[in-house]
Amino acid sequence: MDRIFSTYALVFLLALLMLPAITAADATPTFKQGEDINFSIPTYNSDNSPATVATRCNFTLMNPESAVIINNQAMGHSSSGFYSYWISSPLTANMSGMYPATVNCDNGVDYGYANFAIRITPTGSIQSSIFENPILLIFIALALILLVMGISFHIIPLGFLSGILFMLGGMYTMIYGFNNVTDLYTRGIAAVIITLGFVITTIAGVEGIGE
């Protein structure tokens, strides 16, 4: 492969290797699919004192398509102003993804609410780096090996196959995300990987036609 292919490939590889460092703090509560969830939230009065048992709090939960699955159900009060709601395992067995939620509290004097989301995944955790996705790593490792071999030995078809593998890895990430959870972060990574593969494949193809 000539200098043009090598330069473009290395530039996009450097951009890809920087992706794991582009992460954002995620404070979304995450729970495991198929297990009981005891969700709790701190509540306060207007004077910032913890809410007492005299306060009534209700919990509403919607699925990722915004259909209500728990509608304004009473929450239980615990010490230090925490209110909790129990979601049973039969319900969470079929849940996966991000679920918008609302808590409304009223003590007759003060009223307040909070909108947030909870996340449910098969493992109860979320991956935030391409290094935590083994299938994607296999695609990328094979693509890198072929790309390095193609650049080193000037074999254009290896570069073409490398680009194909990058695109397949990107499509896998676009569909399944990390740990079967997709969001804007995983889709952004997928788009970059697909673009990388497309550029490498296109340049290799153009060089192959030109020879």
List pLDDT tens digits, range 153-191: 888 888 899 889 999 988 988 887 765 666 677 788 888
Q: How far apart are the first and last CA of the chain?
A: 10
Map tokens 């890198």 to a residue. Answer: 144
List pLDDT tens digits, range 103-124: 999 998 889 999 999 988 877 7
| Class for the domain spanning 30-121 | mainly beta
Q: What is the pTM of this model?
A: 0.55
Domain ranges in the chain?
Answer: 3-26+126-210, 30-121
- The strand pair at 76-77 and 82-87 is best described as antiparallel
User: What is the separation of C-alpha 200 from the centre of its chain, rounded to a whole number of angstroms?
Assistant: 26
